[in-house]
Structure 1
Amino acid sequence: MTRKFTGLLLLLCFACSLRLAAQAPVQTLLWKKQLQARLDSLQRANGFPGATFAAVLPGGEVITIATGIADSVTMSPMRPGHRMLSGSNGKTLFVASALLLAEQGLFNLDDSIELYIGRESWFTRIPNAHSLTMRMLLNHTSGIEEYLEQGDFMQQLKGHPGHTWKPTELLAYIYDRPPLFEAGKGFSYADANYILFSYIVEKISGQQMYDLIRRDVIKRYGLKATEPSTKQTYKGLAVGYARKGGPFPVAGAMVHKNKLILNPQFEWAGGGFVSNTADLAAWAKAYYEFKAISPALRVQMREGVAANTGKNHLYGLGMQIRPGGEAGMSYGHSGWFPGYLTDAAYFPDLDVALAIQFNTDNFRLLKRAPEAYLLDMARILATQVNNH
């Protein structure tokens, strides 16, 4: 090969790379325009207050958009960077930190929980206590009911909205309840599973779960808009609007004079975070890939049991596994907190991660679940990604 030909070849390669680099932002802008038009159309058609959306594309480009309003009093527009309470999506962060401890040998997923809390005075009052494993708590096959729906919890929350709850206070609501089914023989989603699991992990590790998550997830993955929901004031928080007649003793605006009307701290390991869609989408991909643990443990994380959360849904370890039609299977988690709805997922077939948040929990306004909105946006990207 002559020196002249080599130089020409390098020049052509350089020109091609410049062309591709120039096309990438143009294509990203086109996708952003299409996604924005769709989100605006859905907001106008259904009348929900506002929403934010983010996508992490195969090349690493990030699209963030917003629609509607963040506050009905000031009529301030929703911005892509607005934060909301992300509800049960936060379970993914708790599981990630716990799996790192399992990788280090602090516990095994199939260990009996009796091994760690068998001497607690209240241990035998837990449904299926002697049959439960750590894994059963994570994939909701424990037979334990949801604590939120028991006793006077809602009355206590209404009477003491600023109260800081201890895990054992929350677990007391499931004491002496008959199990829904034999341990490992069914599925019933309940935050109580994660409250109990995280209580055990703190006991094993001698560390606070939030401290572990800050170090191992938030800091490591650069989730700058994500923080524990342990207080009532947050910067950049969109006002959420709770539906009337919901299970919680609240309705209307969840924020009054820049302060949440109840302390979200009670959610803890059931969710427990404030975030935005850019962080949620980035973490959805990072959690699916989760390179900090072994491939074998990663496989277990993605192995799901049949779940009654939707048609053909599975539930892994802090991970909802759901069919997405032409977009393929998705791996992520939805979330609900009074006044806020969240969904975030990674689509391996497209190598795309998506997240959406609404500042309302009124399904009558949305007309469908947040997951359906996510799939609607995924279809737009699926057509384009498959053609490129």
Structure 2
Amino acid sequence: MRRTPSRRLFAAALLVASVLAPTATVPATAVPASVPAGSGHHGGEECRDGGLGPELTARLDKAVEDVRVQAGIPGIVAGVWMPGKGCYVHATGVADKVTGRPMTTYGSVRIGSETKTFTVTALLKLVDEGRIGLDDPISRYVDGVPNGDNITLRHLAEMRSGLFPYTSDPGFIQDLESHPTRQFAPHEVLAYGYRHNNTFAPGAQFEYCNSNLVLLGLVIEKVTGRRLADVIDSRVLRPAGLRETLFPHAAEFPEPHPRGYTDQTPDGSVADSTDWNPSWAWAAGAMISDLHDLRHWAKVVATGELLSPETQAERLRTLPTGFPGTSYGLGIFETNGWIGHNGSIPGYETVTVYLPAQKATMVLMLNTDIQSAGEEPSTLVARAVTGVVTPNNVYDRPVRPPLSDPTL
């Protein structure tokens, strides 16, 4: 059965499953165009502290390349940083299947549901300022939400609202697949979900639902009186020092970037989705970033550098998801010790996670979201990499919503 966009706005990878920012700069480590596809290269700019040694590096190269070939992934960028041990940054495969342009460790990708970590961070900063409360009902800020008097901001952030996911609505799927360059508004996408009854009482269980994050984006706009993209830029990206991360208004995409490939099309054929409009994902999955920024963000979000200790503790109070080994907090997951999020949007998948026990960071960027043997390609790569570098903390099977629901 072909996957639908509802299943993947962002790779259900709970692992284990608008203002345009400046164009990304190209570091001096760019790989010459003559490098053959699949040969790969190691990014010295992002691995200044030295590698993990020739033996471990060779094992990682093989693990990543084996998954890439077996899963049919066009290109992969993999980065691992382990203080006191070294680092590994590697690109393999192609960024463009037509020209054969090689994948490189610089450039931007669409990060899908990793956007949720930025949206929830902006929300939690408002909590720290006393401008909102996590247990406020959504009806206080947004009208028309089914059962809105009983659904709290906390329920929305921890995926326990019971709202029907708009990305599971057949009408939405048809409209998006038929017109992937279309501009969607937040209230417009929410309306698709409101056609359906809520699926359970607030707080009763976990269900990944992008409607939740769109509503939180509207709360941020209501309270601040500013566009969500501007709030995230000024209150999250700039304080965190993220210069190449942005929240696009429509289909903007800074150069350079790899082409993205998806099978989320009306007939299930593979298409180049690079320039599709991610506005339908908005606060749940529209953002763009690069390897450097994601590496930094992994630690910031996992350790709460932008939040008070009390609010970060609330964020990390994870609850069971129904998937062994994986729990979910406020816009963040924990699986086998790794804390962070993954993302999937037509054409791209990412994983950005931090392992507090070893102060280790892993970032993965892929230019496809086409599943292999029923699994997200980013999960396969993450499992292979952590199986080599952190065998006691292997990134496990991500949380996967039902086929009728999209993505984590």
Say if 1:195 and 1:367 are closer, same or farther in 2 by CA, change over 3 A. Answer: closer
What residue identity is the alignment partner of 1:291? E
Shift of 1:163: 2.7
TM-score by length of 2: 0.77
Aligned match for 1:289, one of 297, 303, 307: 303
**What are structure 2's unaligned runs of at least 5 residues?**
1-47, 394-408
What residue identity is the alignment partner of 1:318? G
CA contact (8 A) 1:341 1:358 kept: yes
Q: Distance in 2 between matches of 1:61 and 1:248?
A: 45
Percent identity, aligned pairs only? 27
Q: Distance in 2 between matches of 1:42 and 1:156?
A: 33
Aligned match for 1:84, one of 81, 94, 109: 109
CA contact (8 A) 1:36 1:66 kept: no
1:169 aligns with 2:178: no
CA contact (8 A) 1:306 1:315 kept: yes
Aligned match for 1:242, one of 221, 240, 262: 262
What residue identity is the alignment partner of 2:345? F
Shift of 1:87: 0.8
Q: Paired residue for 1:14? A: none
1:312 aligns with 2:325: yes
CA contact (8 A) 1:54 1:278 kept: no
Shift of 1:249: 7.2
Q: Paired residue for 1:252? A: 270
String of CA shifts for 1:218-238, please: whole Å, max 9, x gaps.
Answer: 222232332224332421221
What residue identity is the alignment partner of 1:149? S
Q: Distance in 2 between matches of 1:361 and 1:159?
A: 18
CA contact (8 A) 1:127 1:177 kept: no
Say if 1:141 and 1:46 are closer, same or farther in 2 by CA, change over 3 A. Answer: closer
Say if 1:38 and 1:183 are closer, same or farther in 2 by CA, change over 3 A. Answer: same
Q: Distance in 2 between matches of 1:263 and 1:209?
A: 17
Q: Paired residue for 1:7? A: none
String of CA shifts for 1:333-362, please: whole Å, max 9, x gaps.
Answer: 111111212111111111101011221112
Q: Distance in 2 between matches of 1:282 and 1:187?
A: 29
User: Number of residue pairs matched?
Assistant: 344
Aligned match for 1:225, one of 217, 226, 244: 244
Q: Paired residue for 2:363? A: 355
Shift of 1:366: 8.8
CA contact (8 A) 2:111 2:348 kept: yes
Q: Paired residue for 2:233? A: 214
Aligned match for 2:317, one of 303, 311, 314: 303
Say if 1:248 and 1:52 are closer, same or farther in 2 by CA, change over 3 A. Answer: farther
* Superposed counterparts of 1:87-102, under 5 Å: 87-102=112-127
Say if 1:383 and 1:163 are closer, same or farther in 2 by CA, change over 3 A. Answer: closer
String of CA shifts for 1:84-130, please: whole Å, max 9, x gaps.
Answer: 2111011001111111111001101011122223xx3xx2xx33222
Where 2:281 maps in the other structure, the secondary structure is helix
**What are structure 1's unaligned runs of at least 5 residues?**
1-23, 324-328
TM-score by length of 1: 0.81
1:75 aligns with 2:83: no
Aligned match for 1:191, one of 181, 186, 210: 210
CA contact (8 A) 1:64 1:278 kept: no
* Superposed counterparts of 1:10-25, under 5 Å: 25=49
Q: Distance in 2 between matches of 1:135 and 1:340?
A: 29
Q: Distance in 2 between matches of 1:240 and 1:215?
A: 29
State which structure, 1 or 2, has the greater radius of gyration over its C-alpha atoms.
Answer: 1
Shift of 1:35: 2.9
Shift of 1:154: 2.6
Shift of 1:381: 2.6
More helix by share: 1
What residue identity is the alignment partner of 1:290? G
Q: Distance in 1 between matches of 2:85 and 2:111?
A: 23
Say if 1:296 and 1:143 are closer, same or farther in 2 by CA, change over 3 A. Answer: same
Shift of 1:172: 1.0
Say if 1:167 and 1:57 are closer, same or farther in 2 by CA, change over 3 A. Answer: same
